[in-house]
Amino acid sequence: MSYAWIIPVVIGVSYLLTASLRKYAISRSLMDVPNARSSHVVATPRGGGVAIVVAFILSMVFLSATGSMSVTAFLAIAGAGAVIALIGFMDDHGHIAARWRLLGHFCAAIWLLVWLGGFPPVSLLGLDINLSWAGHLLAAVYLVWLLNLYNFMDGIDGIASVEAICACLGACLLYWISGLENLIWAPLLLAAAVSGFLYWNFPPARIFMGDAGSGFLGIVLGGLSIQAAWASAPMFWAWLILLGVFIVDATFTLLRRLLRGDKVYEAHRSHAYQFASRRFGKHLPVTLAVGAINLFWLLPIALGVTHFGLDGVLGLILAYVPLIILAIKFRAGDLEVSTIKN
């Protein structure tokens, strides 16, 4: 039986929920007002990412009920995602101290890993290596970093949505070619949920995702990557490659700020994509460039890893080196005062 009809349904649910959330945010004055650390200039409703959360979790309930997704995978990904979305929602509407947010993030990551069976053996330069408890610990850190970097990278119109859609559809293609059709539905429906929201978030954005949506996307994408790693070791490297734009920009920026002694928990505008959007004077070229990099550079390399025998580590290096060069070119992590031009 074909369930293709659920794709437009998920898009429609996300679209309509985002519209409703936008009206709600405007009526309650839940607006993101521009300040010195903002990349936008117009007060914009926030919290639209809740539509992604609701649409995707409902679709996962359907997948689990029809046997298209295992109950353990559902509990892992939906459970962790819901916790992160709730933390983000509460932070969007008030403030949660960083230490409590971080504690919640690690609890969600551990929950996800317990249900998925931890972190599987990895293929490293042709060797299968079981990292045991060290691997589980590293996986928890990976998940927490991914959900936080996704929050950091959600700073201009449409960029977080485009990244998620490209990564998910790219993974679907890799699954299909590799004979892992049973894994396709979750990333496909996540892309559908994000697409309904993107209509409202595409530059110029009429609503922002908020921490509830960005953190949710980060941990769900991380969960999907670990789920894929259990099915095929090269798939984990493929996911790291597909998410390369966000991973490289956020990590490179964080390391530079740490080395300079900055308070890394404070808001800033020193990511490469933020400098790029100010250089071009608008968000659209940067958001479209992220999509192009994913489609024409990262996806072919990920395909090489999963289908043409390219070693995962070598593929990762090949994918990331140009991204690091771009990060340097656009001064990721540089002092804002030295480069901002109004």
Give residue-wise pLDDT tens across range 229-245: 999 999 999 999 999 99
Kindly report each contact of residues 70-78 with a partner whose C-beta sits within 8 Å and lies 24 or more positions away, as own/partner: 72/115, 72/116, 72/117, 73/115, 73/116, 73/186, 73/227, 75/115, 76/111, 76/112, 76/113, 76/114, 76/115, 76/116, 76/223, 76/227, 77/112, 77/186, 77/220, 77/223, 77/224, 77/227
Q: Specify the range with the lowest mean pLDDT, choosing from 19-23, 93-97, 193-197, 324-328.
A: 93-97
Q: Which residues are annotated as a binding site for Mg(2+)?
A: 151, 211
Residues 149/247, Cβ–Cβ less than 8 Å = yes
Which residues pair with residue 26 across a beta bridge?
A: none
- Could you tell me the residue ranges of all domains in the chain? 6-338
pLDDT bracket for residue 36 (50, 70, 90): low
User: Which pLDDT value is given to residue 184?
Assistant: 96
pLDDT digits (tens, 9 = 90+) for 173-205: 999 999 999 999 999 999 999 999 999 999 999
Quick one: how far is CA 18 from the chain centroid? 19
- What would the two tokens of residue 169 be? 């559809």
- pLDDT over 60 (residue 163): yes
Report percent pLDDT > 90 for the chain.
79
Q: Specify the range with the lowest mean pLDDT, choosing from 18-27, 95-104, 121-130, 168-177.
A: 121-130
Cis peptide before 204 (omega within 30 of 0): yes
pTM of the model: 0.94
- What's the mean per-residue pLDDT of the chain? 92
pLDDT bracket for residue 29 (50, 70, 90): confident
- pLDDT over 60 (residue 207): yes
User: Which pLDDT value is given to residue 174?
Assistant: 98
- pLDDT over 80 (residue 339): no
pLDDT digits (tens, 9 = 90+) for 96-124: 888 899 999 999 999 999 999 999 998 88
User: Which pLDDT value is given to residue 33?
Assistant: 78
List the Cα angle 257/146/112 in 5-degree steps.
Answer: 145
User: Which pLDDT value is given to residue 98?
Assistant: 85
Residues 57/81, Cβ–Cβ less than 8 Å = yes
Q: What is the number of other CB atoms lying within 10 angstroms of the CB of residue 325?
A: 11
Q: Which residues are annotated as a binding site?
A: 151, 211
Query: Which of 100, 303, 111 lies closest to 219, judged by CA?
Result: 111
User: Which pLDDT value is given to residue 341?
Assistant: 36
Q: Which residues contact 28 (CB under 8 A, 6 or more apart)?
A: none
Q: How far apart are CA 160 and CA 154, in angstroms?
A: 5
Q: What are phi and psi of 316, to 5 degrees?
A: -65, -45
pLDDT digits (tens, 9 = 90+) for 55-88: 999 999 999 999 999 999 999 999 999 999 999 9
User: Which pLDDT value is given to residue 342?
Assistant: 31
- pLDDT over 90 (residue 224): yes
Element (H, E) at 198: helix 185-201
Residue range 275-304: mean pLDDT, rounded: 96
Q: What are phi and psi of 207, to 5 degrees?
A: -160, 150
Amino acid at 177: I
List the Cα angle 134/135/138 in 5-degree steps.
Answer: 85
